[in-house]
Amino acid sequence: MGAKESADAKAKGSQNELDMSQPDTTFLQVLSQKKKVAKDEANYVLNGTGERKSCVKCKFNLGDEGKCHIVRGKINNEKGVSKFFSPKGDGMLPGDIVWIYVKQTGKKLKYKEGHVIHEGAPGYQCKDCKYYLYSGDCLLITGKFKPKMSCGFIVKIGHGTKV
């Protein structure tokens, strides 16, 4: 699974708040507490083959950064896996979980917390996200954004929960 498929797993779907899984709930706690889960608590291991489950196949993976939205520290995209592994189509989209956090707290994520990049892959840019406002603002992250930028929480227009 390449970067596009990983982005696809985090950007598309028809989930809603009723579909929240246990890993989704943990991610919401991470957002609220501003503290990721330690690798040993997450039961993070290198599974050897990476064929069935690996970080790169998880919706919480930040592949280019070698990070996870939930697990603290550097992760191995191809062989790493934790008890918070959540494949495409399981539970809610990460961006929609952030939207729940924003609605509950009234606070957007800080720019650095959004994993913002200056140019996203075609089809996965701010202009393709339902949380992007054409004024250059985002409903999830503080700061100004250009249409070609992207973040770790993009949700494609027409997918996920209703805004």
pLDDT of residue 18: 73
Kindly list the distances between the CA atom of residue 41 and the CA atoms of 70, 73, 82, 98, 148, in Å, as whole numbers in the listed order. 11, 12, 9, 22, 37
pLDDT of residue 49: 62
Cβ(90)–Cβ(121) below 8 Å: no
The radius of gyration of the chain's CA atoms, rounded to the nearest angstrom, is 15
pLDDT of residue 64: 85
46: phi then psi, degrees, rounded to nearest 5: -95, 120
Tell me the whole-structure pTM to 2 decimals: 0.89
Q: What is the DSSP string of the chain?
A: --HHHHHHHHH-----GGG--HHHHHHHHHHHHT-PBPTTTTT-EE-SS-SS--GGGBTTEEGGGTEESSB-S---TTTEE-TT--BTTSS--HHHHHHHHHHHHS-PBPGGGGT-BSSPPTTSSGGGBTTB-TTS-BSSBSS---TT-B-TT--BTT-SS--
List the chain domain ranges.
Answer: 22-105
pLDDT of residue 42: 97
pLDDT tens digits, the chain, 163 residues: what are they? 455 555 666 667 666 677 789 999 999 999 999 999 999 999 999 986 656 788 988 999 998 889 999 999 999 998 999 999 998 788 899 999 999 999 999 999 999 999 999 999 999 999 999 999 999 999 999 999 999 999 999 999 998 888 8
Largest CA distance in the chain: 46
